[in-house]
Structure formats: structure tokens, C-alpha cells
Amino acid sequence: MEASSSLPVKATLANVFHISPDRIYFDQTTGFLQIDGQNAFKPTINNGVSYASSDVIAEAAAEATKQQPMTFVLIHGSWADASFWDKTVAELKSKGHAAYAPEYAGHGKLYDPNVTHEAIVESVVNYIKSNHLTNIVLVGHSFGGSIIQKVAEQVPDQIHRLVFFDAFVPLDGQSVAEQLPPELQGAFGELVKGSGNNTIPMPYPLFRDGFVNTASETLAKQIYQSAKPEPATPLLQKLDLKKFYTLNIPKSYLYFTSDMAAPQGDTYGFHPAQSRHLGQFRLITGEGDHMSAAYAKPAYLEEKLYEAARD
């Protein structure tokens, strides 16, 4: 390799391949440059700066960003439908994964105010069975946490890992609504009464502050368009989760630190209050609110889901 054909390693990794200098270490003992703690290649050192050819750097970057191929099944939350995952699915596929985001009973094109928790779970189980999906990373977002708990009870052998993404994790005998503070439960009760059809319409100001607080106004209103009045029954049903709490499936919790869909803090926060219900789990944290990343930063969300999902 001639010096003239060489590029500075750190700057090239950062500026061309978006791999931060933090992730790079030069091991003086072995002469290896490491990325994320793994030997990448032996650079040429000149005045304390590492150089390598563009081919060598590109190959190392590809290796460092390669993902173990997995099968994702993504379960959306309330006031949303399966289109919530459209961009995430595209990003997962671009990284070599299989990714499915089934619409479940009572939501999206299957909209039905009278749907039950059981019907939703059944629709997801049927989807998994009819598509012969195995070795699944089953991801539940928000209300979807309670769905993947119950799905796991029915098809535990098809599931490789459960990933709860800012998700509710009711204890045995609890409802999803009971994870929220009494005043919020009360507000939801009023909205149900006012709906006339046993749904909870989401007022825009509450959606703006609770679900998309970090978004621009344009994006917030765009996302709000998917927020049909949520069927109330599945949120209010007390769930038998005895079997779930005996299952021996690996679990991860992905927590976005600006998420306010549940009030932050030790008592009601997604983390540590809901996550705590899992007992042992892998914590992955990220920046963002409840819904915006799926629309505005899908590559970031993909990366965080992968960190939560990988072995």
C-alpha cells in the first residue's frame, strides 16, 4: 500500500461510513486497529495518525456494521396500525433480516371497536402459524407488550427473544390500563363514555405531548392521522399471565429516554417501572419519544432494535 493511496482511518470511518471515532482503538501491542473492540486491520502509522487504503477501510466498516440475520415480527401499539412499522421493516430488510408487521384484529383495515384482547392475540398467533415463522424476535411496542406476553404463552417454541419497546408489561391479573396512574385511567374512562362506541379517541394535545413530543409540528400531525379511536376493551381487560411469568424466553427492553406515553419515574415509567416486571432482561436505551423515531429516524430505531434482539 502506497502512502499516496492511503486515507486517514478515523476521519474516513467517521465521515464516509458514519462510524464514530469513539468506537476505534489502536492496540499498540499488536499493531491492530480495533472497531468496537474487535481487531479490524493493521494500519500504517504516520505522525500518530492511522492510514489505510479505501478498500481496507470499507471492508472493515462493512464488517463492523454487519448484522446477524434474524426474523422480526413487530407488534404495534394503540392509536396506531401496522403502517407504524413500514419504514422500520424496510430498514430491517435492508440489513438482511426477515421482518413482518402484521395488522392485528380490530385495528387498521380490520378496525372494530368491539375487538377483544383475545382476538388480537389469536390473530397474531394465527399469522405466525400460517406463515410458519420460527426463531422469531417478537417485538411489542406500547400496548403491544401485553400482546407479545400472551402470544409467547401460546407459541413459546417459535420465539427466540421477546423485545419490549417502551411497552406495557402487566403483571398477572392486571390490565394494561392499570399500569397508568389513576388520573390518566380516569381521563380514559371519560373519553370512553364520551365516545358512544366503547373506544378511546385520542385528543391531539394529549397525543402531541405524550406520543410525539420531540417531533416537528408537521410530523406530529402526520403521525396523528393514524390515530383512530382505540377500542377500549383490550386495554381494560385483566389478563391471566401466569404462564408468561414461567416462560424461559430471553427478554430485552428498549427504552427511549424522552418517552412520555407513560409518566416517567420510578412508579409508572416504561423503564424502570414496567421493565422491572420482566425480572432479568437486557436493557437497551435510546433517544426519542414514543412514536417519532419510527417515522423520522427508522435507521436509528432499526439499530436499537437489533441491539435489543441480537444474541
CA distance 139 to 165: 7
Give catalytic status of residue 130 as yes or no. no
Tell me which residues in 86-105 interact with a copy of itself (CB under 8 A).
87, 90-91
160 binds a copy of itself (CB under 8 A): no
Strand partners, 202: none
Residue 153 DSSP SS3: helix
Shortest Cβ 260–a copy of itself spacing (Å): 5
258 binds a copy of itself (CB under 8 A): yes
CA distance 137 to 302: 13
CA distance 54 to 290: 39
Shortest Cβ 106–a copy of itself spacing (Å): 27
Strand partners, 34: 25, 39
CA distance 153 to 148: 8
What is the 3-state composition of the chain as percent helix, strand, coil, each rounded to the nearest 5?
40, 20, 40
CA distance 63 to 194: 55
269 binds a copy of itself (CB under 8 A): yes
271 binds a copy of itself (CB under 8 A): yes
63 binds a copy of itself (CB under 8 A): no
Q: Please count the residues of this chain forming the interface with a copy of itself, following the rule CB under 8 A.
A: 65
296 binds a copy of itself (CB under 8 A): yes
Binding mask 25-44 for a copy of itself (x = CB under 8 A): x-xx-------xxx------
182 binds a copy of itself (CB under 8 A): no
Residues 58, 155, 206, 249: which binds a copy of itself (CB under 8 A)?
Answer: 206
What does DSSP assign to residue 59?
A: H
257 binds a copy of itself (CB under 8 A): yes
Tell me which residues in 210-249 interact with a copy of itself (CB under 8 A).
210, 213-219, 222
Shortest Cβ 96–a copy of itself spacing (Å): 13
> How many CA atoms lie less than 13 Å away from 241 in the CB half-sphere?
24
The runs of H, that is alpha helices, within the chain are 9-15, 54-65, 86-94, 117-130, 144-154, 182-195, 204-210, 217-224, 233-236, 275-276, 292-296, 298-309
Which one of the listed residues 6, 50, 78, 142 is annotated catalytic?
142
Catalytic residues, by residue number, are 142
Interface residue list for a copy of itself (CB under 8 A): 10-11, 14-16, 18, 21-25, 27-28, 36-38, 68, 87, 90-91, 205-206, 208-210, 213-219, 222, 250, 257-258, 260, 263-267, 269, 271-273, 276, 280-285, 287, 289, 292, 295-300, 307, 310-311
